[in-house]
Each structure stands twice: as C-alpha cells, then as structure tokens.
Amino acid sequence: MSDTPKIVEMQVIPVAGYDSMLLNIAGAHHCYFTRILLVLKDNAGHTGVGEAPATGVVLKILNDAVPHIVGQEIGIMNQLVSDLHKRDLDENRQPKPVLPGFRPWDLERHHNAVAVLETALLDLMGQFLNQPVAQLLGPGKQRDEVPVLGYLFYIADRQKTDLDYLPGNAQAGQHPWYHLRHQEVMSHDKVVQLAEAAQDKYGFKDFKLKGGVQAGEVEIETVRALKKRFPQARITVDPNASWSLDQAISLCKDMHGILSYVEDPCGAEQGFSGRETLAEFKRATGLPVATNMIANDWRQMSHALQLNAIDIPLADPHYWSMRGANTIGTLCNAWGLTLGCHSNNHFDVSLAMLAHLGAAAPGEITPFDTHWIWQEGQHLTKNPLQIKEGKLALNGLPGLGVELDMDAVGIAHQRYNNLRQKDRDDAVAMQYLIRGWAFDGKRATLVR
C-alpha cells in the first residue's frame, strides 16, 4: 500500500439553487436547479469536493459507493474510480427503476457519478502534494487564466407562472446584470442589452446564443445584431440540432465573418446520423463546428473525426471526467482541433473544475462555456473564483482551491429537500406558456 492519507468520510449532498426562466430546446428552465456535492475527508485533515448534475440515479450510485471508498488510501484513486465504473456497469446495464419519481439508470448519469468521484479524489491528491489539480492533469498547468464566453439566452416571462422565480432588483448601486438576468428577453435588442450588461460586469470578449427557441431566421438575426454591436467578438449559436440540414445550410452559408463557429446546427435525420449531417454542413458552409451532442464517447469521437464532422469537441468534465476531458484536449492539440467545454447550470465548485481543466489543456482552446453568470451570487464556497476580463484565473491554492461554506451548503441542501420534483424537467415551466407543450428535438421551443 502507498503511504498516502486514508479517506475517513464520504458525504453525498444534493443541493438546489435559483435559476432564471431560460429557454432552450427542452423547454424553460425551472425556477430551481439541482446539483450534487461529493465531499471526501481524509485522515490528514483535508477535504476534497466535486460537483455533478443531480438526479436520483447519481445519488444512488454515489451512496452505494460509500462503503467501497471509505477506508481506502487516496494513492489508489485510479483504481477507486475504475472500480466504481466497472461495478456500476455490471450491476445496472439493464435499465430499471431506481427510486419512485426518478429516471431509470442511464449511461450519462453513470458517467456523472464516476466523474464527480474522480474530481473529489483529485482535489484531495492535489492538497496532499501541495499542487493545483491542473498540475495533475495531462501535461500539467499550461496557463493561469482560462477564457470563458458570455452565455446568452432568450428569457421567458416568469410572471406568466406561479413558480418561485426571483424577481431581480434594480436598486441603485447594484449592477444591472443582476436585475436583467431575471427579466423577459425575447427580442434582438433585449438580447443585445443583456450582452452589454454581461460584458460590463464580466468583461466578455465572446458570446454564445442558445438557440432552438425561436424560428431559425429570427435567431440568426439576433446573431447579426450581436455581431453589429460587438464587431470584435467571436459569436456562436447553438440550436441543439433542432435545424434540419437544409435549413442549417441555408441559415449559415452567408454567415462568414459573423459566426466564428456553429454548435450542433443539425442532427440525425432521414436515416443519417448527426455525425454525417454535420460533416455535410461543414462541406457546404465551410464553417467550423462545435458539438456536445454527437461525440460523447470514444467510439462516437472516432466516427466524428473519420467523417471530418467537428472542429471543436466540447468536453464536459462532469461527463468525460477531468482526466478524460483533458485527454480530449491533448488529442485536439495533436490533431489540429480545438478544445471547448460544455456547461450546464452549476455552483462554484464546478466553476473551479472548468478553470483547472482549461488551465491544463495544451495548445489553443476556445473560450469555455459556463452558466455561472446566471447563478453568480449563490456561492457554496468561501472565496469563489471570479470572471474578470472574460477570464477565470486560478487562485494558486492546492487541489481545486475551494473551501466549502457549510452554512450555505446546508441552506442549499434544505432547499433541495423541499422540492417536489428533484430531477430536471424543463417541460414543467414551459407548459405555463404553451398548454400541453411537449419536447420535440426537431421543432424550436416556441414554433408550435
């Protein structure tokens, strides 16, 4: 056995925070979003933490893992992560109910659980070695600051619901961003106003618009409005593959100099896979393509690269894991691709995960996605990283460099416990706007 600290405690803490009524292909974000904190303590007095999306599936996988983790040395972290992966696959390959009201086991949630265990172990190992997690990944720390983009959404009118959305506060002395992020934003001008506030607050150099909400022609005009207002910015749009191939080509073929790249403009259709349609889109438009939808495991990645379907893999450390996502970055650097990072609603532990992943990525990276600007202010750590001048800077501390604020964690945990619906379902809020609304991956949310 190695002479490294032993894990003496493992806590799995689901938490909830407030969200705005952000629109996407799946509907409208609920007023609450949920996450899981995995907290490991060792006998050297260190605390390691990771953050993951919250579902009943992830909770069950992690809680079942507790007796297999407690008592083990952090020196065998690779084996602990590998064992969880193998054990859960062996036990749950056949989908079956997990808990009443929760989704059945699925591979995505399995990877979320494995990734968050790896993150917490890396945090402990970094503290033991007195090194940041970025130094433990691939080639080690490559940069101290990581560029991030301004992630923009159309926002529905929360006042058409009876849900507990925060109203915002336009009081004197408070930055306008904190008010605007809770207000209705459906027009080009309103999106530009939102971008102006975000740039003033966080210094963004680049912007991404979440599409799949209005007609494609409307969303492209919003992109044009953003580029006109921010001519030096790199602008992209993500309709989550809701456009057909023909529509995507028609909308984007004349967007050179306006769109720097496009994220998942189209997907599977007429018997062709999303990898095949994205390859056709690239040939027809000449625009670079990013994805978090069609290259989400090594087999998919292999097919996507053979077809020359993508340029920017968005490797989310909550799915690929910290080390897996870093491996994607290493391959991108060797193969002439560019690493990016997918994001979902998250707290500040995930913000640190993104920062360390980006800090360790070799070569050029595209500015990472982050939802943090929509949650910023709901801190679960004592000194969260800050976005300044469009960048996240590491704080120089070992591990992830975060310390949980257990009072704030307790409040967020109680908020989670009070929720009736704990797994994410964007259709619930959307049905306040359109009665009987149901998800259709090939129809924009408001095009009904």
Q: How many CB atoms are located within 10 Å of the residue 299 CB? A: 9
| Cα distance between residue 362 and residue 326, in whole Å | 9
Exactly one of 30, 46, 111, 210 is catalytic; name it: 210
Exactly one of 41, 111, 201, 342 is catalytic; name it: 342
Paired tokens of 11: 């806590």
Q: Indicate the DSSP class of residue 159.
A: G
Q: Residue 110 catalytic? A: no
Paired tokens of 337: 């691709």
| Cα distance between residue 262 and residue 97, in whole Å | 37
Nearest to 11, CA basis, from 34, 35, 38: 38
Residue whose token pair is 């492209």: 220
Please enumerate in sequence order all residues whose Cβ is within 8 A of that of 312, keeping only pairs 6 or more positions apart, or say none: 261, 263, 288, 289, 290, 291, 337, 338, 339, 340, 366
Residue whose token pair is 């952000």: 22
Contact (CB, 8 A) for 288 and 260: yes
Please enumerate in sequence order all residues whose Cβ is within 8 A of that of 45, keeping only pairs 6 or more positions apart, or say none: none
Contact (CB, 8 A) for 250 and 226: no
Paired tokens of 140: 């080690």
Q: Residue 85 catalytic? A: no
The torsion angles phi and psi of 312, rounded to 5 degrees, stand at: -130, 95
Contact (CB, 8 A) for 185 and 191: yes
Burial class of residue 331 in the structure, from the number of CB atoms within 10 Å of its CB (0-12 exposed, 13-18 middle, 19+ buried): middle
Contact (CB, 8 A) for 264 and 233: no
| Cα distance between residue 4 and residue 74, in whole Å | 6
Please enumerate in sequence order all residues whose Cβ is within 8 A of that of 136, keeping only pairs 6 or more positions apart, or say none: 122, 125, 126, 129
Paired tokens of 336: 């002439």
Catalytic residues: 210, 342
